[in-house]
Amino acid sequence: MRLVSSRTRKQRIAIGAVAVLGLGGLSVIQALPASAAAGCSVTYSVTGSWNNGFQGNIVIRNVGDAWSSWNLTFSFANGQTVQQGWGGRFSQSGTQVTVANESWNGSVPNGGSVNPGFIGSHSGTNTNPTSFAVNGVACTGAPVTSNPTTGGPTGNPTTRPPTTPPTTPPTSNPTTGPPGQRVDNPYAGGRGYVNPEWKAKAEGVSGGSRVSSNPTAVWIDRIAAIEGTDGSSSNGPMGVEDHLLEAIRQGASYIQFVIYNLPGRDCAALASNGELGPTEIDRYKTEYIDPIAAYQNDSRFRSLRIINIIEIDSLPNLITNVSGRATETAMCNTMKANGNYVNGVGYALAKLGAIPNTYQYIDAAHHGWIGWDDNFGPTAELLATAARAQGSNIANVTGFITNTANYSALQEPYITVTEQNRQSKWIDWNRYNDELSFAQAFRTRLVQAGFPSNIGMLIDTSRNGWGGSARPTGPVTTGTLDEQINGSRIDRRIHKGNWCNQSGAGLGERPRANPATGIDAYVWVKPPGESDGSSTEIPNNEGKGFDRMCDPTYGGNARNGNNATGALSGAPISGAWFSAQFSQLMQNAYPAL
Ligand code: BGC
């Protein structure tokens, strides 16, 4: 998380020694038992590049008999060289690259995968290699039954790999540490899990396949979703275990879950009210968090980085929507008084944080919610209190997420937050006018509140693109202050307090790691196309209320300055698929699709 530079600092190793291995050509062939069915598939991708450098990611999947050790070989076509690697011991001789397992990831069952990565350099062309072999067997994606022809009667190869060890043994890189040891940024250097249930919905809409392979989060929005629900609006039959198994099958390096079922959930709005009443903290612990933790702690899933986004729309409400504010609600007062938001978050952090390969990011609202001085510091302090509740401690926290399921622009390229501009109706004295600057500043404030200095932020960019024909292309510099600000802003909402199915919104930045200083990743946590709430009352048995902030004819309340809602009409209940919205999001994507 963190500062991008720290990742680079950690990525020092190791392959200088390689040339001394003297691996002449393709000599690394390992003995296979007679009639073994060996098989592999390899996905090679370049996940970033700059000048003459690039970062490569390799997912090696075992589709045959289990490996107790593995040795990958491939060749570069354009003279590329590996500078440093992790998740495997890299060596290179001429164009030939060999990656041997580390002591901790040699054993790979059928269906399992490993995921080494590296930093490389090139001098112009950088073609991806396409043919790979593991333990001397070409990776075709299917098992190959073989009596190795190069071997003698016992299957031993006639040409043996050299046994001379490198003079400086390569060391592993902590960017992808061994199971049980957390990495700095779980998003870096790997591929995210694609939820097949969301993918299918996205591909059901014309043009959806342009984005359907992006990772989105899996929302565990009720107890039944742990085992999978068929027929509920937002979930399908896949439960937590199914998603984890599928993530292994995909060769994903990380998977994202949203932990979202607090007692008295969503106390300032009605559309996402949940199944647990305000006092049902014991059910939250034993029927919800404990079973999720049991699945996540299963040793079958130890190679995955399991990311938990903790309780959207909870703690910040206890600062802004309580007694003493015009925006108070009775339920937020109740949840502040009974302590069940703080205790629920503390319990989730303690329980899930005890699992060695999990990463916890707590919800931290967005700039148009806590960017004002009255809210900023007190929210950071409350988050620190919750992180220490119920036996938890701040070390259970990997970072924080802003803008979840919201629409705040990542950056406002044509507006500077000056004392004068803060007086506009749109900015309304807020210190911030976009998510990136807010997330970076709030990270600093959280460190002051006691969180480790290497926490990282996530920003949900699923629906904050604001492209399309209404997007301004430069600042407006004439007219009143409000005319200038309104003409210059890319966020086209009527008011920053509007949060439901916003008309005119577009998909934002695609998910990616380390996009800016202090930011672990841009993520798509709200699966685009899933509704925020119904635009008219729709009876349901999921606890979802009808919030008039989703009704395009409503004139608003204190929390959106009594403005029109800007919501799309025809929306189903929250979490249910809303094709028309998904089409609009694709149409207004920025960057454009
Ligand atoms: C809903 C959840 C849903 C999530 C993701 C929330 O607003 O309340 O049921 O899973 O959005 O779409």
By percentage, how much of the chain surpasses pLDDT 90? 69
Q: What is the pLDDT of residue 67?
A: 87
Q: Is residue 27 part of a domain?
A: yes
Question: Which of 232, 233, 234 to mutate for ligand 1's pocket (most ligand atoms within 8 Å of CB)?
Answer: 234
Report cis status (omega within 30 of 0) of the bond before 591. Answer: yes
The answer on pLDDT for 433 being more than 80 is yes
479 is a domain residue: no
3-state secondary structure of 373: helix
User: Looking at ligand 1, which residue's alpha carbon is closest to its atom 4?
Assistant: 575
Domain end, chosen from 138, 158, 173, is at 138
Distance in Å, CA 372 to ligand 1 centroid: 27
- For residue 3, pLDDT beyond 50: no
Cβ atoms of 145 and 151 within 8 Å: the answer is: no
281 with 380, same domain: the answer is yes
Report the separation in Å between the CA atom of 517 and the middle of ligand 1, taken as the mean of its atom positions.
30
Residues 122 and 248 in one domain: no
User: Where residue 51 falls among pLDDT bands split at 50, 70, 90?
Assistant: low
**Judgement on whether residues 294 and 393 belong to the same structural domain of the protein:** yes
Q: Which range among 34-48, 245-259, 468-482 shows the weakest confidence by mean pLDDT?
A: 34-48
Q: Say how far apart CA 415 and CA 274 lie, in whole Å.
A: 38
Dist CA 593 CA 588 (whole Å) = 9
* Index of the ligand 1 atom closest to the CA of residue 544: 8
Is the predicted pLDDT of residue 301 greater than 60, yes or no?
yes
Question: Has 266 been annotated as catalytic?
Answer: yes
Nearest atom (ligand 1) to Cα of 530: 12
Q: Which ligand 1 atom is at minimum distance from the Cα of 260?
A: 2
Q: Round to whole Å and give the CA distance between 574 and 567.
A: 13
Residue 299 has pLDDT above 60, yes or no: yes
Residue 534 near residue 500, CB atoms below 8 Å = no
- Do 176 and 85 touch, CB atoms closer than 8 A? no
C-alpha 453 – ligand 1 centre gap (Å): 32
3-class secondary structure for 158-201? CCCCCCCCCCCCCCCCHHHCCCCCCCCCCCCCCCECCCHHHHHH
| Mutation to probe ligand 1, out of 219, 275, 535 (largest number of atoms < 8 A from CB) | 219
Mean pLDDT of 75-86: 80
Report the pLDDT averaged over residues 539-555: 94
Do 332 and 462 belong to one domain? yes
Q: How far apart are the CA of 62 and the centre of ligand 1, in A? A: 35
Q: Residue 58 domain-assigned?
A: yes
Q: Is pLDDT at 147 greater than 70 in this prediction? A: no
229 plus 298 within the same structural domain: yes
Task: Look at residue 148 and tell me if it is in a domain.
Answer: no
Res. 170 pLDDT band, cuts 50 70 90: very low
Q: Which residues contact 114 (CB under 8 A, 6 or more apart)?
A: 59, 60, 70, 87, 88, 101, 105, 108, 303
CB-based contacts of 271, cutoff 8 Å, min separation 6: 500, 532, 533, 534, 544, 545, 546, 547, 549, 550, 573, 574
Q: What's the mean pLDDT when you consider all of the chain?
A: 86
> Which of 9-13, 187-191, 305-309 comes out lowest in average pLDDT?
9-13
> Under a CB-based contact definition with an 8 Å cutoff, are residues 534 and 468 in contact?
no
Q: Looking at 118, 138, 158, which one is the last position of a domain?
A: 138
Same domain, yes or no: 200 and 318: yes
Task: Give me the count of residues in the chain.
Answer: 593
Across 56-70, 201-215, 309-323, least confident range:
56-70
**Count of beta carbons in the 10 Å neighbourhood of residue 32:** 22
* DSSP letter string, 427-485: TTT-S-SSHHHHHHHHHHHHHHTT--TT-EEEEE-TT----STTS-SS---SS-HHHHH
Look at residue 491 and tell me whether its pLDDT is greater than 90. Answer: yes
According to the model, what pLDDT value does residue 63 have? 86
Ligand 1 centroid from CA 50, angstroms: 38
C-alpha 533 – ligand 1 centre gap (Å) = 9
Domain boundary among 93, 114, 138: 138
State the distance from the centre of ligand 1 to the C-alpha of 571, rounded, in angstroms: 13
pLDDT band at 48 (very low <50, low <70, confident <90, very high): low
Q: How big is the chain by its Cα radius of gyration, in Å?
A: 26
Which residue of 201, 272, 406, 525 sits with most ligand 1 atoms within 8 Å of its CB, as the best mutation to test the pocket? 272
Q: What is the mean pLDDT of residues 168-186?
A: 57
Which residues surround ligand 1 with Cβ inside 6 Å? 219, 221, 234, 272, 526-527, 530, 532, 574-575
The listed range with the strongest mean pLDDT (36-50, 110-124, 231-245, 415-429) is 415-429
Same domain, 112 and 212: no
Tokens linked to 457: 């932020």
Please name the residue whose Cα sits nearest to atom 5 of ligand 1.
Answer: 575
Task: Mark whether 101 and 15 lie in a shared domain.
Answer: yes
Residue 26 has pLDDT above 90, yes or no: no
Q: Does residue 465 surpass a pLDDT of 70?
A: yes
Residues 276 and 402 in one domain: yes
Look at residue 490 and tell me if it is in a domain. no
Ligand 1, atom 2: closest residue by C-alpha = 575
Same domain for 342 and 409?
yes
* Å from CA of 531 to ligand 1 middle: 7
Domain count, the chain: 2
Residue 53 confidence class, pLDDT cut points 50, 70, 90: low
Token pair for 313: 């729309």
CATH of the domain at 224: 3.20.20.40
Structure confidence at residue 86 (pLDDT): 59
Which candidate in 184, 221, 266, 460 is catalytic? 266
> Is 252 part of a structural domain of the chain?
yes
Q: Are residues 79 and 203 in the same domain?
A: no
Give the nearest ligand 1 atom to 217 CA: 5
Q: Does residue 477 lie within any of the structural domains?
A: no
Check whether 163 has a pLDDT greater than 50: no
Question: What confidence tens digit (pLDDT) does each residue in 385-425 have?
Answer: 999 999 999 999 999 999 999 999 999 999 999 999 999 99
Ligand 1 midpoint to CA 269 (Å): 13
Three-class HEC string of 76-126? CCCCCEEEEEECCEEEEECCEEEEECCCCCCCECCCCEECCEEEEECCCCC
**Closest residue (by CA) to atom 11 of ligand 1?**
575
- Please give the C-alpha separations between residue 2 and each of 357, 391, 525, in angstroms, as whole numbers: 18, 26, 19
CA distance 233 to 531: 10
Q: Give me the pLDDT at residue 542, please.
A: 87
Among candidate residues 181, 208, 158, the one with its CA nearest the CA of residue 86: 181
So what's the pLDDT on residue 64?
Answer: 86
Closest atom of ligand 1 to 235 CA is 10
Question: What is the spatial distance between Cα 461 and Cα 406, in angstroms, rounded to a whole number?
Answer: 8
Atom number of ligand 1 nearest to Cα 219: 10
For 317-353, the pLDDT digits (tens) are: 999 999 999 999 999 999 999 999 999 999 999 999 9
Q: In this predicted structure, which of 39-48, 140-149, 330-339, 345-354 has the lowest mean pLDDT? A: 140-149
Q: State the closest ligand 1 atom to the C-alpha of 222, by its place in the atom list counted from 1.
A: 9
Residue 155 lies inside a defined structural domain of this protein: no
Alpha-carbon gap, residue 393 to 387, rounded angstroms: 6
Shared domain check, 293 and 219: yes
Which residue is closest in CA terms to ligand 1's atom 12?
Answer: 575
pLDDT exceeds cutoff 70 at 167: no
pLDDT at 384: 98
Query: Which helix H or strand E contains 47, and what residues bound it?
Result: strand 40-50
We report the CATH number of the domain holding residue 18 as 2.60.40.290
CA 177/CA 162 separation, integer angstroms: 27
Domain containing 133 equals 6-138
Contact 470, 492 (CB under 8 A): yes
DSSP class of residue 289 equals: I
